[in-house]
Structure 1
Amino acid sequence: MNQQLYSHAGKPCRNFNILATEVLIDPVDGREKFVLSNYAMGETGSLILIDTITGQGENLPLPVGPGAWGLVNWHHEKLVVGTCVDHAYLHVLDLRTRQWAPVLISEGESYFWGMTLGSDGKVYGGTYPGCSLMQYDPQTHTLLNLGKVSDNVSNQYSRPVWGEAAGYILMNYGFDTNGMKAYRISDGQFIEFGSPGEQIKWVTGKLVCTEQENGNGLAYYDAAALQPVDGGAVTERDIPLLTLTLTGGQSVPIRHLGGNRAAGVKGQEYFIADLPPDSASYAEPMEVDLKRIPVEAPATAIFTLQSDGKELLWGASGFGQTVFSFNPSTGAYWNSPSVCNAGGEVYGLQFIDNRLFMSAYVGGDHVLYDPSRPWEQLHNVNPRTLRSVAPELIRPEGRSVLGPDGAFWTGWSAQYGVYGGGLSRVDPATLEVEIWYDPVPGQQVSGLAADEKYLYFTTNGGASGLPTRKVQSRFIVWEPGKGIVLESLFEEEQEAGNAIAALGGKVVCCAGDAIHIFDRRQGEFVAAVPVGQSCQWLVALDERTAGAFCGEEYWEIDMETGSGHQVIRTPGYVRASALHDGKLYFAAGSDLYVLNRTYLEG
């Protein structure tokens, strides 16, 4: 019955998301290869080996998992891969045979945030949420948890890790309290060095460079003794070249190749460039020849959907900072390069005057793209990154809406290690950005909707880099030009989520395991529809009806009677939905579906 009510529309979202790189000499053919670790949200990740001379690519799917932050070249014999996001898998590829060893799992961990090769020949990695240091022994193919790096139980991250200092594994931790530690390989002890809040920036066999808390300058330590070194004695030759600045101003991490060359990745493209002979020239912006990664981009999970009001449905990838368009009539699709310089993903999409306004994590960015003009992101022309809300706000958790004043509004969560949130407004005529920080102190904006008169948003105790805090979630009515005009508290056990929609004087939002209906004319909630679980997406279908995706169920909510009923079981967990040309489209993972019924769009 379900299959008669909806149809599969396609897999239009396809992109690369390169989280780590390496360089090796391939034992199969003796050629230098630039290795990319690709994360495919909702699908299976892969390693991509690119011949640095011919540009030919080889794609090697991982045994399991969407992809990796951790990547280590073990003596040009093996590639060690640490993955995220559901489970911290560890994969080991034998380069000569191209065979994978049996999969190892870091129990209780979701992420390997990074990996490094220690001076003892073992591979080490940091984790989330355990803030642990893991040790992999390539000789025995065993994985060992060496313990939590930080004594603060609220610290969930140990990242990055460095093995360049002989005898030590160095690491940062955070984000409730930030710091750094050294693991002494000889006796297995974690030892403190430096000041509270200090964070490592880079490590060589000679020096450790750190940044003091609140950006109060750099400090240096001897890599052998971890004792302070006079910064005045550090020369330009001591500082490793880790990034290049491209024309347009973006700083891109690089890997050094033979013949004084470097390789790097910018979004969906990579480059190989000759380095200038004079090290003083490295700081100058560099023109590089960007090339598409030479294997087919995989399908990836759809994170956001939005109609352009014409013939195209638009969306954003679940990770990788790209957007796509899809023509339901023809099945044709297009996927963009990265929309801005920061990594992460686009949360909010809205078309205003035929231009696409976007909000993006992790840089707290507002981005404007005109589909009628040529793509020129490298020089910040089209798409164009507008004023950011970072560092105070970084994640557009509440998504974005077209406000009653015709502006582009976004609901935000605060920076890593901080509970809080905010709102931003982009004027589509002047592109001026306004920001309201912490309208509900200490709570992030979890969902945002608008009608012809007000903005409506919900809040909760979620945060980036911190455990969710138990707070009393709010429902806020906000009038542009005035601010908060009404505030309502949910019951303590009713945590508000992202799902919220408004139309026809009614607002529906999810808190706890019910969908709550707010009547604008009465200025209060008038009903709650129990759905038995949290709802992750709501869409207004007409002035009376809302569509609700709850777990793997699709409900329709009658906002007049305060009732609802389940319509179908969905083919997966739905993270995005949009009404387009009278049809309701929804995404489960990388698959796009359409309900086989027509709605009269409000």
Structure 2
Amino acid sequence: MPEQKETLAAFTDHGVPVPANEGRTAAICTNREGETRLVIAARGYAVIVNPQERTSLQVPFPEQHVDYPFASYSSEDGMFYVGAGGMFMVLDPFRGRFTDYARPGLTGEIVGFCFAEDGRGTIYTASYPQCRLMKYEPERKTLTVIGQLDAEEKYPFSLAVDAYGWIYGGIGTERKTIAAVDPVTLQARSLVPDGERRKGQGKVHRGADGRVYGYYDTESGGSEPRWYRLEQGRMSPVTAEQVAKSAYSGTGFETVHRAFPHPWVLLEMSLAEKEVVLLDQSSGQSFPVRLSYETDGADLSPLVAGPDGRIYDTSNHPLQLYRYDPHFGAVENFGGKAIEKGGGGNICAYAVLGGRIAGAAYAGGHVHLIDTTRPIVTDAAAEGRNPQLVTSQEAIYRPRCALAHPDGEHAVFGGYAGYGAIGGGLYIRNVTTGEDELLPNERLVPYHSTVCMVALPGGDLLCGTSVEAPGGGKPKETEGRLYRLDWQAKRVVYSEVPVQGEPEVALMEIDGQGKVHAFTAKHYFVYDPMTRQVIHTENIEEMGGVVRNGLVKDEAGRIYGVRTRSVFRIDTGSFKLVPLHAEPPAITAGLAYVDGRLYFASGKRLWSMAIPGYQR
């Protein structure tokens, strides 16, 4: 158990660096009278844009419900349908209010993952992670669970209904398929042959011609068609030219259902940047509509202390880059355009080499270099953009850790791979020359992902793994491992389980005597790489959960750490965790050190704490 705290220490709240929200889904609604509105749904509310009046209106979710939406739908009569967490909602964008909502009572399910409508105005939707199929009858205002699209897969990406009432779902990610649901029996079956159900996703949509089309990649490398017409539960091959256009445009969180009627055209849309740009074709003029909404800000991600003595960080959904200067107490927000391909992700892990910070971002394993000796340049057309996107690596699609190698030239990144994958890789980049190397999962510990690492004397890496597969895959192992990577040969020397029953070795730091201090969800343990022995283990659940990037060293080599309910120093001689404060704010992301202070995130706010009795 941790010892009593040394002294009380003062915390400082530095405020909300990113007062913005991310638009997660949008639809353009047009009623039978010809009125039209753009609706953007965010965490806890929707914003309605009136193109004629060039105004916006924020409408909170019913019952002050706060959760993330994933998809939305504009019905034939102009209503807006959306789900968030366990709540299904119906918004009348012309009256500016929600007219109905329901909770289907599916524990742990996210409703509204995709939507479709049949010829009678019935709305269909599906949930994650059980692929439950539901129908909503607008006249009766009832939401009913009617089946399941797939018994094993988690992600229902799209829905469509044909003229005969058959319902189709595009499913992923470990074993993709197109599911077909019989309107009489409500039984689902896969239209993709079992041998072709590999990693990926099926896609379906109702075309402008009223017919349903589906797609999946056969991965055969032959001449098999990629597109099919779906009718009465059967697939007929068609060419891409025969596929009628979908009512959806854009990708990811930029997806929009339907288009404006003449004369309006949507050119740009960003809730995070608080602006929509529309084109009036009757005049040929484009104009912005400023979006006004109240927000408590965006959640913050792991922090890093730059070599210039300033704190760098991004927010999470939306991704905006900001910098905090401890000497002036000032936050500088560079917005979402600072990070290429940023969108709805965050920079998850950093390595500092010389005057540069190398960071890896979700979603996509995008690696960025920030030159702290130069100004931040966010204009994509400008010379010398800074930060600079240098690569994207699917093998670390969800980055979790980064390391500056002692050679002073290489940054190493680990994390989870993409959707449907089980096991991530390691990406190594020389930040000076640009030379790089990817070590695929098969060369490391198969079916594991690297989520923490330290450099050992001599340059080899000791890495900790997780067996989780957050992109929809099904874990094949049960316990996280340590493995040693020979830096010169780039091969695994050994791997072993340090703590029985723990699925992840989440954090590690090495002390001046070469002992490695590591943390799992429940335990603190000390590992001796020389003897390959765990020499200390204790349960620390009372200190709270794991905080990403929750360990840091000061200039004297002292190790500090945070968990969700604690701030502590590691006594490396006695293997004691010495609390530095009795009741810190709830800690959600860590950890940076500058001049005797520890900086961390508590939700949407940046905090710091003076280290008690600190001496250089």
TM-score, with structure 1 as normaliser = 0.83
Question: Which of 319, 322, 326 is matched with 2:320 structurally?
Answer: 322
1:559 corresponds to which residue?
A: 572
Distance 1:290 1:446, change over 3 A: farther
Deviation by residue 1:447-474 (Cα, 9 ceiling, x = unmatched): 2344774433201211121344443321
Is the aligned partner of 1:66 residue 2:67? yes
Write the distance in 1 (CA, Å) between the matches of 2:473 and 2:565: 28
Question: Following the alignment from structure 1 to structure 2, what is the Cα–Cα distance between the partners of residues 549 and 560?
Answer: 19
Contact kept in structure 2, 1:26 and 1:33, CA below 8 Å: no
Closer, same or farther: CA 94–512 of 1 in aligned 2, 3 Å: closer
Maintained 8 Å contact 1:268/1:293 = no
Aligned to 1:336: 335
Opposite residue 138 of structure 1, the aligned amino acid is P
The alignment status of 1:11 with 2:36, answered yes or no, reads no
Whole-Å Cα distance in 2 between the matches of residues 600 and 590 of structure 1?
A: 27
Q: How many residues align?
A: 574
Deviation of 1:599 after TM superposition, in Å, equals 7.6
* Equivalent residues of 2:334, 2:378 under 8 A apart: no
Query: How many Å apart are 1:207 and its aligned residue?
Result: 3.9
**Contact kept? 2:551, 2:590, Cα under 8 Å:** no
Instruction: Give 1:539 deviation, angstroms.
Output: 1.4
Q: Please name the residue that 1:304 is paired with.
A: 302
Q: How does 1:343-422 map to 2 (within 5 A)?
A: 343-370=344-371, 372-377=375-380, 381-390=385-394, 392-397=395-400, 399-406=401-408, 407-422=410-425
CA contact (8 A) 2:511 2:572 kept: no
Q: Which residue of 2 aligns with 1:536?
A: 547
In the alignment, which residue of structure 2 is the partner of 1:281? none
Deviations 1:210-234 (A, max 9, x none): 1233275644444443544452594
Select the residue among 36, 41, 46 that pairs with 1:37.
Answer: 41
Out of 212, 216, 220, which is 2:217 matched to?
Answer: 212
Which residue identity lines up with residue 400 of structure 1 in the other structure? Answer: A
The structural deviation recorded for 1:46 is: 2.0
Report the CA distance between 1:326 and its aligned residue. Answer: 2.4
Q: Deviations over 1:494-553 (max 9, x none)?
A: 332422223433422113522112345666443224313653343134456433333423
Are the aligned partners of 1:9 and 1:591 in contact in 2 as well (CA < 8 Å)? yes
- Equivalent pair of 2:320/2:333 in contact (CA under 8 Å): no
Find the residue that maps to 1:69 and give its secondary structure: strand
- Structure 2 residue identity aligned to 1:24: C
**2-structure distance, mates of 1:367, 1:215:** 34
2 CA distance for matches of 1:207 and 1:441?
40
1:510 is aligned to 2:494: no
Among 443, 455, 459, the alignment partner of 2:461 is: 455
CA contact (8 A) 1:472 1:490 kept: no
Q: Structure 1 residues 298, 536: closer, same or farther in 2, change over 3 A?
A: closer
Aligned to 1:582: 596
| Shift, 1:306, TM fit | 0.9
Shift of 1:300: 1.5
Distance 1:14 1:161, change over 3 A: farther
Q: Kindly tell me: are residues 123 and 345 of structure 1, through their superposed partners in 2, closer, same or farther at Cα, counting changes over 3 Å?
A: farther
CA distance in 1, matches of 2:68, 2:508: 31
- Cα distance between partner residues in 2 of 1:66 and 1:256: 26
| Partner SS, residue 459 of structure 1 | strand
Kept after mapping to 2: 8 A contact 1:302/1:576? no
CA positional deviation for 1:119: 3.0
One-letter code of the match for 1:557? I
Aligned partner of 2:480 in structure 1 is 473
Q: CA deviation at 1:445?
A: 0.9
Sort the Cα spacing of 1:512 and 1:48 in 2 relative to 1 into closer, same or farther, 3 A.
closer
How far apart, in 2, do the equivalents of 1:330 and 1:555 lie?
Answer: 24
Task: Check 1:418–1:599 CA distance in 2 against 1; reply closer, same or farther (3 A cut).
Answer: farther
Q: Return the offset for 1:181.
A: 1.0
- Secondary structure in 2 matching 1:458: strand
In 1, Cα distance between equivalents of 2:583 and 2:70? 34
Within 1, Cα distance between the matches of 2:346 and 2:118? 33
- Cα distance change of structure 1 residues 114 and 580 upon mapping to structure 2, 3 Å threshold: farther
Checking the alignment, whether the CA contact within 8 Å between 1:201 and 1:211 is kept in structure 2 is no
Change (3 A) 1:289 1:426: farther
The aligned residue for residue 546 of structure 1 is: 559
Equivalent residues in 2 for 1:112-123, closer than 5 Å: 112=111, 113-123=113-123
Flag the 1:221–1:151 CA change in 2: closer, same or farther, 3 A.
same
* TM-score normalised per structure 2: 0.81
Mapped contact 2:480–2:502 kept (Cα < 8 A): yes
Alpha carbons of structure 1 residues 111 and 55: separation in structure 2 relative to 1, 3 Å: same
Cα separation, 2, equivalents of 1:393 and 1:474: 18
Q: Distance in 2 between matches of 1:295 and 1:429?
A: 43
Q: CA RMSD in A?
A: 3.7
- Counterpart residue identity of residue 464, structure 2: T
Per the TM alignment, residue 256 of structure 1 is displaced from its structure 2 partner at its CA by: 1.7
SS in 1 for 2:608: strand
Q: Deviations over 1:176-213 (max 9, x none)?
A: 32211123445533244343437225431224131233
Aligned 8 A contact 2:368 2:389 in 1: yes
Amino acid aligned to 1:548: G
Give the corresponding residue for 2:502. Answer: 494
Partners of 1:541 and 1:601 lie apart in 2 by: 13
One-letter identity of the residue aligned with 2:187? Q
Q: Distance between the aligned counterparts of 2:331 and 2:551, measured in 1?
A: 25
CA distance in structure 2 between the aligned counterparts of 1:548 and 1:373, rounded to whole angstroms: 30
| 1:9-158 mapped onto 2 (5 Å cutoff) | 9-25=14-30, 31-39=35-43, 45-53=44-52, 55-62=54-61, 63-75=64-76, 78-84=79-85, 88-95=86-93, 96=95, 98-99=97-98, 101=100, 104-112=103-111, 113-152=113-152, 155-158=153-156
More moved, 260-269 vs 5-14: 260-269
Q: Is this contact kept in 2: 1:357–1:408, CA < 8 A?
A: yes
Counterpart Cα distance in 2 of 1:411 and 1:233: 38
Q: Describe the superposition over 1:356-393 as per-residue Cα deviations: whole angstroms up to 9, x where unpaired.
A: 42212221221234461421347995443222222x44
Shift of 1:424: 0.7
1:165/1:203 contact within 8 Å kept: no
2:76, 2:121 within 8 Å by CA — same for their partners in 1? no
